Amino acid sequence: MRPRRAHILLPLLALTAVCAVVACGSDTASRNSESAVYVARIDGEIDQQTAEYVGRVISDAGEADASAVVVTLDTPGGRLDSMQEIVEDISGAKETPVIAYVTPQGARAASAGTFIMMGSDVAAMAPQTRLGAATPVDALGQDIPGDMGEKVTNDAAALITGLAQAHGRNEAWAESAVREAQALDASDARRKGVVEYVQPDLRSVLQAANGASVQPKDLTLQAANATLIRESPNFQERFGIPLYTLVVPLVIVILLGAGAVFAVFRSRRWRAMTGREGMIGELGTVRRKISGSTGGMVFVHGELWRALQEDPDSPPLEPGTDIEIVDFRRAFVIVRPAAK
């Protein structure tokens, strides 16, 4: 029964290990407190997985009645449709302030990242960071030519100026970031009213913004001493495919592997039972006299075997005597009279 139990437990243990590896959670046990701030990180290009990840974090924060969400950014930009999903999720979080923060030093929020900054409820930057250069380009990073380029640029300009206006930011500069690819460093962005805060770290941002009125949501930000809950992308948000699409085939492979191991074990056990070792205890009949150390012949399982007595000093075993096999010695089976 042990091999069968192992056969069942192996895939279960492997599945548990897979789930443990890919499971993503927060770095804090407390998730249902109004003094919590949920943190999402955009690091690299903005795509559909990024949008799903940020949207989920905002949703989690709303369900937990968190004080705020912080989206930290270091991005060269990305897809406009994914950026718009993020902006819509930020706007849709009516009871949760969303802070966008460009960090660490040397980071940027270019192109699509600039739109997210303009659409956030609070915009902050670390020193020596930058934003802007938000002119739409094609998938190869080239200008979009002709009428299509003009249409896309006009649409993007309308979107970013509308976001800037809604949040009381510099509309003229926001439009220039799209039409002229204008960019600013943190200090100039603060001076020109593009962002509200320039602070060296997230705690400093929360302290500086504490008590601020968040418009147009009409909320007051209270997050100075909040617990930070950093949410990581889950498997699908990280790799773009659902976890089950890998787990199910993996479990099947494990079952087939486990099955092969079990088959090998069973095959070896069968060979041991049906080989010479499996004959110990079997009964047969003497066909040629066995005396002392002189070998004779026994008939067991339809075959003739050369045989020696277990006790060489015992009386000879005559033909027709029933015997029991007790051991093997080289080419001989070792026998003794069968019990009556």
Distance of alpha carbon 328 from alpha carbon 224, whole angstroms: 84
Active-site residue 289, yes or no?
no
C-alpha 155 chain-centroid distance: 37
Distance of alpha carbon 108 from alpha carbon 202, whole angstroms: 16
Active-site residue 111, yes or no?
yes
Instruction: Using alpha carbons, list the distances in angstroms from residue 338 to 197, 258, 317.
Output: 99, 43, 11
Distance of alpha carbon 130 from alpha carbon 120, whole angstroms: 16
User: Nearest Cα to 295, choosing from 323, 321, 331?
Assistant: 331
Marked catalytic residue, from 151, 192, 213, 314:
151
Marked catalytic residue, from 26, 111, 120, 176:
111
User: Nearest Cα to 10, choosing from 244, 258, 263?
Assistant: 258
Tokens in use for 240?
């773009």
The residues, any chain, with a CB within 8 Å of residue 66's CB and separated by 6 or more, are: 33, 34, 36, 37, 38, 60, 96, 226, 229
Distance of alpha carbon 127 from alpha carbon 185, whole angstroms: 8
- Contact present, 115 and 134 (Cβ < 8 Å): yes
User: Nearest Cα to 133, choosing from 118, 162, 113?
Assistant: 113
**Main-chain dihedrals φ then ψ at residue 195, nearest 5 degrees:** -130, 165
| SS3 of residue 110 by DSSP | strand
User: Nearest Cα to 15, choosing from 255, 260, 242?
Assistant: 255
- Contact present, 42 and 91 (Cβ < 8 Å): no
State the catalytic residues. Answer: 111, 151
